[in-house]
């Protein structure tokens, strides 16, 4: 069974750093892309960026380029999303999602979401 299991809820202060994770199982982790999607409170989905764990090829939405870092450790089938200096506006639910390659350009499996709260 394909699963993406995300790390738990986080409460942070502005300026702090954070790294959340998404562990894939039940499939060949290096054969699929893993994307991160932001959903701010009562708002829509925003595509942040994507990584191909096989070679760590990473692409970012222009809106998030330079704001976050996406990485992966294929040895433990885990993708990461990290911030070096959180802001209150980073408060949101963050989802990871599996995207296919040439024959599967859609997100067929999603993590359960990681809520992040940034407040002083």
Reduced to 3 states (helix: H, G, I; strand: E, B; else coil), residue 13 is: coil
Instruction: Please work out the total of residues on this chain that contact other proteins, with binding judged by CB under 8 A.
Output: 28
CB 111 within 8 A of CB 95: yes
Q: What is the CA radius of gyration of the chain?
A: 14
Task: Please pick, from the candidates 30, 63, 82, 84, the single residue that binds other proteins as defined by CB under 8 A.
Answer: 63
CA-CA distances (angstroms) from residue 40 to 7, 44, 60?
18, 7, 18
When asked if residue 46 is in the footprint of other proteins (CB under 8 A), the reply is yes
Residues 6+ apart with CB under 8 A from 70: 36, 48, 49, 50, 51, 58, 60, 79, 80, 81, 82
Residue closer to other proteins by CB (options 17, 65) is 65
> 86 or 97: whose CB is closer to other proteins?
97
User: Looking only at residues 100 through 119 of this chain, which bind other proteins when binding is defined by CB under 8 A?
Assistant: 104-108, 110-113
Q: Choose one: 11-19, 23-31, 82-90, 93-101; the region binding other proteins (CB under 8 A).
A: 93-101
* Chain residues in the site for other proteins (CB under 8 A): 33, 35, 37, 43-47, 50, 52, 57, 59-63, 95, 97, 99, 104-108, 110-113
């Amino acid at each position: 069974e394909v699963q993406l299991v995300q790390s738990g809820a986080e409460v942070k202060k502005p300026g702090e750093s954070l790294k959340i994770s998404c562990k894939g199982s039940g499939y060949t982790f290096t054969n699929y892309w893993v994307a991160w999607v932001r959903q701010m409170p009562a708002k829509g989905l925003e595509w942040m960026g994507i990584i191909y764990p096989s070679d760590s090829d990473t692409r970012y939405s222009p809106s998030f380029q330079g704001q976050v870092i996406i990485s992966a450790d294929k040895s433990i089938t885990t993708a990461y999303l990290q911030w070096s200096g959180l802001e209150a506006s980073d408060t949101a639910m963050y989802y990871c999602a599996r995207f296919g390659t040439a024959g599967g350009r859609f997100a067929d499996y999603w993590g359960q979401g990681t809520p992040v709260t940034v407040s002083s």
